[in-house]
Amino acid sequence: MDGMSGPHVIRGSVSLPEAELVWRFSRSPGPGGQHVNTTDTQVELRFDLARTEALPEVWKRRALERLAGRLTDGVVTVRASEHRSQWRNREAAAVRLAALLAEATAPPPRPRRPTRVPRGINERRLREKKQRSETKRGRSPKNWD
């Protein structure tokens, strides 16, 4: 699409190839007056994740696994209809798709290293509990003779 605001970067030097994006336009639902009733402002953007060559193989496997619930025959679909102009909806859909793929291809988080509570902290907690207990015991009515 000539004039679109450049390539939509997923992460690093990897971006969405314009040739692999399939755009579909339709009328947006909801209020908006006469203009909305006559123009196709809703945008549906499709990207064939299973057959793309733009993503590294590791990223592709990771994305296919993480987006399995969203995919239809290996194709991920994003819709945008929040703006009144088709142009802005196109931008929103492309940005949303890039963000979705960036999140799906992100490396898994590092495993958590289990840690222990230091003995000093535990001892201090128990000492403070005992002190609080003594304070409260001193308030009880049986000592008020």
Please answer whether residues 49 and 16 qualify as being in contact, where contact means their C-beta atoms are separated by less than 8 angstroms.
Answer: no
Amino acid at 50: A
Structure tokens at 115: 């840690």
Q: What is the pLDDT of residues 112-126, one digit of tens each?
A: 999 998 999 999 999
d(CA 89, CA 1): 14
Round to the nearest angstrom and report the end-to-end CA distance of the chain.
91
Which pTM value belongs to this model?
0.66
Per-residue confidence in pLDDT tens, the chain, 145 aa = 444 556 777 777 777 788 888 888 887 766 666 665 567 778 899 988 888 888 888 888 888 888 888 888 888 999 888 887 888 898 999 999 988 888 888 888 899 999 998 999 999 999 999 999 999 988 887 755 5
Indicate the SS3 state at residue 84. Answer: coil
Please answer whether residues 105 and 55 qualify as being in contact, where contact means their C-beta atoms are separated by less than 8 angstroms.
Answer: yes
